[in-house]
Amino acid sequence: MYELIQVADRSYYIQSPAKIGLVKLNDSDVCLIDSGNDKDAGRKVRQILDANGWKLTAIFNTHSNADHIGGNRYLQAQTGCKIYAPGIECDLARHPILEPAFLYGGYPCKDLRHKFLLAQESEAEPLTADVLPSGFEMIALPGHFFEMAGFRTPDDVVYLADCLSGRETLDKYRIGFIYDVAAYLQTLEMVKTLRAKMFVPAHAEAAEDISGLAQYNIDKVQEIAEDILELCREPLCFETILQRLFTAYSLTMNFEQYVLVGSTVRSYLAWLKDSGRLKAHFADNMLLWERV
């Protein structure tokens, strides 16, 4: 873990729970793509920088989930680097309490205020085309989170953030976190058409061809949608739908899984309703979902 792996002339990634991209800008300066999940991750990154005599000039956050921005504050304090994040992700990086509050739908209890969902605040600035290093391209990857973005480097490596998961992860956990299902599917269809020297997803193996894995992620989304529709042959409230999915997928309920999977299931319900496959109505002061 935290091994530095070179994938092109100037492009690397640091093997970690959420892969951290590292790109050499010249012989001495580097930038990071994300910063890991906490201060300890930041410390390990700093050790790699020091061992290679590199100066960190900037961190480009793909999105604001805690496992991608957790090292921001430590690395910025240690190196004075700039931090950039796209769109609303910048606001969440500056005010990370918004992540567990959004997931829970209210003020998060202590069980949700931990480093896996609540990063430390960092002084992030908006990520725009003019602040990218020469030759970098920002790629919009909405769906998993609000305005997630990936990057293509000058030596043709594409960092894909969380827009897809590995096959083993999908087979084991079934439901990966998604904020906007329609946008997520559109992103995956776009990713299928991309070509690059190497693709580096944050939660899957680096690969020269990513189209097959993108399609596998699409298929899993459609399978989950069909499972939800099958459950909703009778009117069900959200909590019952969630409980039955956890049971069917052999998942274990705890606070973290409740908000991550629960938020995702709500996103599926909204998508299925908006696309005309589910209807919702209120009965006895309860919101019920039913297949059309």
What CA–CA distance (Å, rounded) separates 16 from 2?
A: 5
CA–CA distance, 102 with 33 (Å, rounded to integer): 24
pLDDT tens digits in sequence order for the chain, 292 residues long: 999 999 999 999 999 999 999 999 999 999 999 999 999 999 999 999 999 999 999 999 999 999 999 999 999 999 999 999 999 999 999 999 999 999 999 999 999 999 999 999 999 999 999 999 999 999 999 999 999 999 999 999 999 999 999 999 999 999 999 999 999 999 999 999 999 999 999 999 999 999 999 999 999 999 999 999 999 999 999 999 999 999 999 999 999 999 999 999 999 999 999 999 999 999 999 999 999 9
Cβ atoms within 10 A of the Cβ of 195, count? 11
All structural domains of the chain: 4-124 (3.60.15.10), 228-291 (1.10.10)
φ/ψ (deg, to 5) at 222: -65, -35
pLDDT score for 162: 98
**Cα angle: 100, vertex 105, 110; to 5 degrees:** 45
Q: Residue 41 has what pLDDT?
A: 98
